[in-house]
Every structure is written in C-alpha cells, then in structure tokens.
Amino acid sequence: MAKKITGISIMIIALALFFSFPAQRTEARTRFISIGTGGTGGVYYPYGGGVAEIWTKYVKGVKAVAEVTGASVENTKLCNKGETLFGEIMSDVAYQAYTGTGKFKGKPQKIRGMFVMYPNVYHIVTRQDSGIKNIADLKGKKVSVGAPGSGTEFMTNLILTDALGIPYDSFNVFRLSFNENANALKDNSIDVGIWCVAPPTSSIMDLATTHKINIIPFSKAEIDTVTRKFPFYSGYTLPAGVYKGQDSDVYTASVWNTFICNADIDEDLVYELTKAVFEHQDFLMKIHHFAKYTTPENAVKYSAIPLHPGAVKYLKEKGIDVPERLIVK
C-alpha cells in the first residue's frame, strides 16, 4: 500500500512539473520589455523605438516595444513601480528622483542609469506676431509649460519659478503635449509653447513650415542664474537655421537625458541590453543625429545618478574608468 501511495505521489509530482516547466521555458525564451518614452511629437518616442528594435534584434530572448507616455516624471514613476522597467528621462528628474529631493522629496525612486542619451534643448516658441521678445514678456500671456508628468513641465517649473522668479500665477498656464503645442500656436489659442527636446524636432518643424516663429533667447545673466541654482543645467547655443525662419543663434538652456531601468533588474540582462545599444549606435543615429552623443564616455561623464551594475560591468569591460559616484555600494 505504501508503495502504491508513493507511486501515485510521484505521478502527481511529475505531472505538476510537466505543466509548470513549459511556461517557465517559454518565459525564458521570450521576455517582453516595454520602454517608457514620450509623445509622438518629440524625440523620445522614435529614439525609444530604435532602442526597442536593437534589443529585439540583437538580445536573445527579448522582444521590446516603445510605449507612448507623459515622458520623464511619468516614466520615472512607472519604472520605480516596475510597470515598464525601462524609461527615458531628463537628468534633472533623474537626480531628484534618485535622491528623493525636490518633486520627489522623501520618496526616492528605485531607479538606476544605463546610459546617457543626448542633451535636450529648451525651446520657448512663439509666433513672430506675438510681440514676445524675452523671458519677462511671458507674464500675462497664455503659456503651455509642457504636458502633465513631462520633463518639459518639470524643467519649466524649476527654471521659471525657482530660478528666475516668474511664478505660474504670473501667466495663464496650459499643459499641452508637443503636437498640441504646435496646433495651439497655429490657431493662436496660446501665445507660447515650451519644448525641451533634441533639435530639430518634428512638431516645431511642422509649425515653422506654415507660420513664422520666434524662439525666445535667454540672456547670459539668466542662464548664469539658472545654472548656479541647478548645476545639472547648462547653457546651449541653438545654431541659426535649425528651424525655418530661425535666422540667428538662440542662447538657451539644456539638460542631458538619461536612459533608466528599475534597480532590481538582473545584472546580466542589463549588461546585454547596454552592450547592444552601444554596439549599434549607428542605427540610433539614423533615427536622430543627436544619438551621436550616446557613447560609453558620455555615460560616465554626464550621468546624474549611479549606474546599474550591469551597465558598469559593460563599461569596465570596455576599459572605461567608472567614477565612484556612479557605483552603487
């Protein structure tokens, strides 16, 4: 009787293993990955789509897709909660999210860097007939500060309110996506649209083909004030001719972008994903020329937060000296 019971028990265990193993093997074969990007009118979405194509093609067992999101702040929260695991965010957001300061005060997010992408350039765009010539002229106007949860809105609040003393209650606030900015400027329902994006970006290019635009410059004193308060920002000269009708250089602000992942992801997976991006940078450059900045050297030079151990492993393998500030203890 004991032998019969033992035999039945063995059969039950064997059946349980039979039905559980195939699911595990399938999961091992294909891991589905989503990347939090931004709206379709910016660079995050096509860049993220390029990364997804690289991962799907060159990393065994991975199928990746780019997801349209509200961009930096939303991507950070999604990554922290493990809902996307990967995302594209601006480095000002990355710094405050990792350290639990500013907008994330007391709530440090469980994120790590994989690599830096490229610098974003701050565009304050208006129609030439608006009469707006400088930052101070924003007061009393209808201004789109960026989509809710976006890095653009995050940066706008820090630059205008915290650094330059131009609070939101001094103008009429709109929160629109990049494509919505362009359309609202076309029909004159806003006076100013703000983008923080790699130039040139499709939504501003489209606007400039049908309407005469101005990109409002910062003074050197204004940029100095901003960068003293927030060292993760820097000045940037947008060369003349980037957009139709932009006949002179525009001095403005910029911030680097960081490609992040959830801190708990397996080291070997992050190593393979990081390696694939750097070894197929040429593919990303076909999507946007600013991908020329996506290099191992820039990862250690400009990352605002510690890198994931998988990324560190790849960089060290390539002979890159990774500073202690970027290594998680």
Q: Read off the CATH number of the domain in which 77 is found.
A: 3.40.190.10
94 and 110 in a single domain? The answer is yes
Cα separation of 197 and 153, whole Å?
A: 12
Query: pLDDT value at position 29?
Result: 80
Residue 35 lies in a domain: yes
Residue 11 lies in a domain: no
Q: Given a cut of 80, is residue 4 above it in pLDDT?
A: no
Q: Given a cut of 90, is residue 294 above it in pLDDT?
A: yes
Q: How many CB atoms lie within 10 A of CB 192?
A: 25
The number of domains in the chain is 2
Q: With cut-offs at 50, 70 and 90, classify the pLDDT of residue 24.
A: very low
310 and 218 in a single domain? The answer is no
171 and 272 in a single domain? The answer is no
98 and 179 in a single domain? The answer is no
Residue 46 lies in a domain: yes
Query: pLDDT value at position 12?
Result: 42
Cα separation of 199 and 196, whole Å?
A: 9
175 and 294 in a single domain? The answer is no
What DSSP string runs through 38-66?
A: --TTSSHHHHHHHHHHHHHHHSTTEEEEE
147 and 43 in a single domain? The answer is no
Contact 111/286 with Cβ under 8 angstroms?
A: no
243 and 320 in a single domain? The answer is no
Half-sphere exposure of 195 (CA within 13 A, CB side): 31
Cis peptide before 167 (omega within 30 of 0): no
Cα separation of 183 and 270, whole Å?
A: 39
The angle that helices 44-58 and 267-279 make with each other, rounded to 10 degrees, is 110
86 and 129 in a single domain? The answer is no
**Which among 255, 278, 313 is the end of a domain?**
255
Q: Given a cut of 90, is residue 139 above it in pLDDT?
A: yes
**Which among 222, 255, 288 is the end of a domain?**
255
125 and 200 in a single domain? The answer is yes
Q: Given a cut of 50, is residue 82 above it in pLDDT?
A: yes
Cα separation of 222 and 158, whole Å?
A: 13
Question: Per residue in 255-269, pLDDT tens?
Answer: 999 999 999 999 999
Selection from 145, 281, 156, 172 nearest residue 230 by Cα:
156
Any bridge partners for residue 196, and if so which? 122
Residue 16 lies in a domain: no
75 and 105 in a single domain? The answer is yes
112 and 126 in a single domain? The answer is no
Give the domain range for residue 312: 28-117+258-326
**Which among 214, 238, 255 is the end of a domain?**
255
Question: Per residue in 222-266, pLDDT tens?
Answer: 999 999 999 899 999 999 999 999 999 999 999 999 999 999 999
186 and 276 in a single domain? The answer is no
Q: What predicted TM-score, i.e. pTM, was given to this entire model? A: 0.85
- 212 token code pair: 């005469």
**What does each C-alpha distance from 169 to 2, 179, 277 come to in angstroms?**
81, 24, 43
Contact 327/306 with Cβ under 8 angstroms?
A: yes
